[in-house]
Every structure is written in structure tokens, then in C-alpha cells.
Amino acid sequence: VQLQASGGGLVQSGGSLRLSCAASGFTLANYAIGWFRQAPGKEREGISCIRSFEQITYYASSVKGRFTISIDKAENTLFLQMNNLKPEDTAVYYCAADVALKAYGTPCSVDEDEYWYWGQGTQVTVSS
């Protein structure tokens, strides 16, 4: 199982970026997949997750309404569309997969202890 995150960069406040997380060794749409971020000097936080098969998503209040999580099943790739970026969004962004079997309809979680596999992280920097 591998996750490869990409798409980070430097953007001005109010701008947009789309992060990608390519998966291999398993099918993303069958499990809970999440995006996490870690800002300098802060703990890593979960910001969004998706259980694509049941069309379940979750967004932290800090990103709700600005970020959209999605999966391209054909490409087996996770995306995070980030709009109206703010300087406080500056962080290293990680994708992660929770491959434990869950009951149908179980909400996805952004508790990182539930995530087994992690991508390497991609840096997002938002300038003011």
C-alpha cells in the first residue's frame, strides 16, 4: 500500500490549489481516506475525510465551505480542492488511509490513530 501526495505550492491569500493523493495497492473508494495537515509548531490536525462508497464526507470547521474532498475512482486518486486559501492554511498536508473494515454507513473520522497508511506530505504555503 502506497500513497503519494502532490500538488502543494506557494499561493497568494484568496487563491486555490488542488492536492492529489495517488494510491496503489488498494482501492481508495472502498475505505475511509483523510486529509491532515501540520502547521509549523502545531500538532497535526485532521481536516477532511471521505468514505466514497457510501458518499460520506466530513470537514473540519476551519475548512468547511472552502475545501472539497473527492475521489476519482478510475485514477484511484484522492483530491482536495482548496479555495479561498488563507495564510493560516499554511502547513504540510498529508493523505492517509484507514483500511479497517467498518459497518456500512459508519462516519469517517479524522482521528489519526485510525489511519494505517500515510503519504509523504506536500507543502502548502499561503502568502498574505
Pick 106 or 39 by higher pLDDT. Answer: 39
pLDDT of residue 92: 98
Distance, in Å, from the CA atom of 10 to the CA atom of 45, rounded to the nearest integer, reads 20
User: From start to end of the chain, where are the E strands?
Assistant: 2-6, 9-12, 17-24, 32-38, 45-51, 56-59, 67-72, 77-82, 91-98, 117-118, 122-127
- pLDDT tens digit string along 37-83? 999 999 999 999 999 888 899 999 999 999 999 999 999 999 999 99
Mean pLDDT over 95-109 rounds to 90
**Per-residue model confidence (pLDDT) at position 16:** 98
